[in-house]
Structure 1
Amino acid sequence: MTLEPDEMRTDRLVLRRVRADDQPAAVAILSDPETHRFNPSGPPSAADAGEMLAQWQADWRRDGIGYWAVVLPGAEQVIGFGGLRFHTVGEEPVLNLFYRFSPAHWGRGYASEMARAAVGWAERTQADRPVVIMTDPGNEPSQRVAEKLGFAVAGEVQRPGGPLLVWRR
């Protein structure tokens, strides 16, 4: 089943299905302590980051949807990861919007651009499943991305280490 395109393009980004050769970028970005500043568990180990990438690949095979590698056109350099994944909040099936970028590429609007493309795709093809964004209450940069996309806090869920805000449109 293919729900999501293997590749999408925005004005400045290529969003493509994650693949095995993305492992060095996944380890570098996902295990960077700065990218987990708001995660009480801290960053995953290099091995755990590799397992996350493998899980994202499995999501694509199983569900036809998953997180993309975010690439600057022409450079083939992975600057981040993001997209949509099937999830549940309570008992409700939703699409969880996730994004994590290399700190060297923060502040340029790439997260908003990738997220806007993902939400647009979801609204066209998965209208029966709402998109949610879950953020740490202190993660103001991610909250600004959610607000730019027209999301507002609709509740919270508990995780080890404290609550996560659940944002909806």
Structure 2
Amino acid sequence: MERLAHIYGRGVNVVAAGMLAAIFITFLIQIAARYVLTHFGWKLELGWTIELNLTLWLWLVLFTCAFVLRERDHVKFDLIYSHVSPAKKRVFAVLAASSIVVALVAAMPDTWDYVSFYKIKKSPTLRIRLNYVFVIYLVFAAVLILRYGWRIVDVLRGRDLSRDERDILAD
């Protein structure tokens, strides 16, 4: 199981790095076309670079949040959480995870409708169907529902602290 988790972790990191590399290369093409080639009198219309970068950025952020970042990597406002007893931390953890699950589940039908509606529209330059662009949000929401649902189960079973949190508390 640990080997499978390692392969999964490497795979999602490679996908995220590939998207980041594609953004960077596209950005360099855009800079070269705008500043270098125009210096020599060539004018290339590269509107597709902006559209590709925006789409890749959307996918990179949502994909990374869903598949790459661990619980401890997410930004948290823990001013109160860090100063309460372990029992209250469990209550806060269940409330926070439940809020996320309820909100995402409640929004899922409308989100599905929104993404499905965009199958009739295409992006202006690349002519990609917009439901393909926005489907990553459905994946993101579904993964977060599963992750935070599992977090609730872990907290209720008493296994709510990650290895890193346990190590910090032990110090």
TM-score, length basis structure 1:
0.25
TM-score, length basis structure 2:
0.24
Structure with the bigger RCO (C-alpha within 8 Å, sep 6+) is: 2
Bigger share in helix:
2
Bigger share in strand:
1
